[in-house]
Amino acid sequence: MIVYPDFALLHLRKRKTIYWEHFGLVTDVEYAQKTIHKLIQYEASGVTVGRDLLFSMESDESPLNVKQIIKKIEKNLI
Domain map (residue ranges) of the chain: 7-77
Residue 76 and residue 38: Cα distance in Å, rounded?
Answer: 21
| 78 residues of the chain, pLDDT tens digit each | 678 899 999 998 899 999 999 999 888 899 999 999 999 999 999 999 999 999 999 988 899 999 999 999 998 888
Q: Is residue 32 within a helix (H) or strand (E), and if so which, with residue range? A: helix 29-44
Nearest alpha-carbon partner for 5 in 42, 49, 33:
42
* Predicted TM-score of the model (pTM): 0.85
